[in-house]
Structure 1
């Protein structure tokens, strides 16, 4: 089967959409399928083209058998709705044009967030008369309102109409949470065409490992209880409240907060930490994908925070599965919903109310003082992670593509190579 996938995120970017697409596509290739990804020059989250790349009209490379076609787009940092929308629309157009010149596919997939990429995918599928599959990773534009980037307005209502149009025109919608599926059904979308394929973890890459001693020395973490946030430092993540928790624990010399990543909120967080003299906080720049397990290995506890808004009841942060696979207890601070339910059922962590730095600080201190509980959470997480392997999730999504395309798939996705195996 030939799969053509439009997404404006792909490695070497390291956010959840990029990781999910790579981890699925490499398994589909190993199962004997042809996968072409149309994307742009890597630039997320800083809005700056990565070293070694240029924002060119057309460039082709290969990642483990995946044909990657990079097209030109307007690239900007996260500096407001209008600039970001121009970024999204430019990729919609260039991605559509780039897709016209690829081998005739059996199915065309486009991924949110930002569903302008999905508009390009739908248009491309219509022109090439092929099934269109919408991979739904975010309830956009509802999430724009949720983080305060825009208020309810006529523009938002128009975007919601476009959103529903895409759901209706898609042959299949592949949602990353069950809550997303229920949301679509409640808005009149046929539930029979909605499939749920959760995020997962590459168990070959993320596994228990001894803390990297050189990184411990580099960041002054020897003998510390390390509370780690690794990922995008964005508006949705309530990291200002994490800093408030760090301030409450500033007199606990053995507790250190480690922030690894980049994003729109990072500069302000660093400035605030300096102004408050928080010596118990470390900031590390965004790291390549292959370095992330080493940084996770430094953590005794992983933080997963989000803003206190109902939209995030339906979100399942993918880093939860990486932490479980590495045996790192999770402290989750987001609205009760699907993610908190998974964590509690797995027994892999502790949940506190979102945007509550006092509750977060208390939970961190309690876990630091209770090694037995941390050990129990670690073991439970390791067991639960097996159910969320990328192998299994890639097979489920491939089956959804098969049903949409009417193509019989007989091969299994197999096992993905580690990063060191990449040619």
Structure 2
């Protein structure tokens, strides 16, 4: 089967949507499917394009049996509401030639990973041209999140975004998402129940198990018998990580409780400032799987 994945985030990003989409593509390829990916250069969660890549460059790669087409995008150093919209729109526009080039390849399945929702109309068009089944996989309801967090406030923009979302939910042959609550929301937004599918994210229990962190404890100077609260992932606005800073400050006189905050993102600098002077807090960049003890 020929499977086309159309996604903003992909490997080698270590967290978030890119991690799961990369693993999914490799899983398909390992089972004999012909897989192509249209994506952007890696930039998340640091909001900086990764080493060896350029923001405004088209390039093609081959990894683990997957053919990857990367399209340019604009990456704001300080993402705000309008900047995020322009960021997503830049990829939707620049990736369009890559998507249309798949017409000759004629995929059997076109799978779009949301966000960005802006990529859905072109994917539906390609599916119609080629006869491919279309699949929308929702990792995050970006429209709801943007307005709930106050990143976007314009009523007209919300009306247009919700209209696009309702159309996408009704038009795709399959709509999946990562939790039961999000699946119910997809149906509320117009996805026919018969076309919806639960597709939760996953974790490799063989690689990540409690009680194997002694090496990191030694590196970070954490006592072997201390209790460690670990956060790993994106450090943005919607994660609410200021709660961890508040908890660490309230527990600053408890040498048996430590906090390890691992990741990057638009909110990391503010989080580091909130934790300044706390002896039992350690910050780390995202750690590749090869460093797991």
Structure 1-normalised TM-score?
0.65
> Which of residues 141, 147, 150 is equivalent to 1:139?
141
Answer whether contact 1:136 1:173 (CA < 8 A) is retained: yes
Q: Does 1:228 align with 2:252?
A: no
In the TM superposition, 1:3-402 aligns within 5 A as 3-102=3-102, 103-151=105-153, 153-207=155-209, 210-213=212-215, 215-223=216-224, 224-274=226-276, 277-291=277-291, 293-294=292-293
The offset of 1:71, in angstroms, is 1.2
The offset of 1:57, in angstroms, is 3.3
The offset of 1:45, in angstroms, is 1.6
CA deviations on 1:57-99 (whole Å, 9 max, x unpaired) are 3212222111111111112234211211111111112222112
Structure 2-normalised TM-score?
0.92
In 2, the alpha carbon distance for the partners of 1:74 and 1:244 equals 34
CA deviations on 1:203-244 (whole Å, 9 max, x unpaired) are 44334562242x323211133321110110111111111111
Bigger helix share? 1
Distance 1:251 1:120, change over 3 A: farther
Bigger strand share? 2
Greater relative contact order (CA < 8 Å, ≥ 6 in sequence): 1
Runs of 4+ in 1 over 6 A off after TM superposition: none
Distance 1:28 1:203, change over 3 A: farther
Gaps of 5+ in 2: none
Answer whether contact 2:170 2:190 (CA < 8 A) is retained: no
The offset of 1:142, in angstroms, is 0.7
In 1, the alpha carbon distance for the partners of 2:54 and 2:119 equals 20
The offset of 1:35, in angstroms, is 0.8
Distance 1:230 1:220, change over 3 A: same
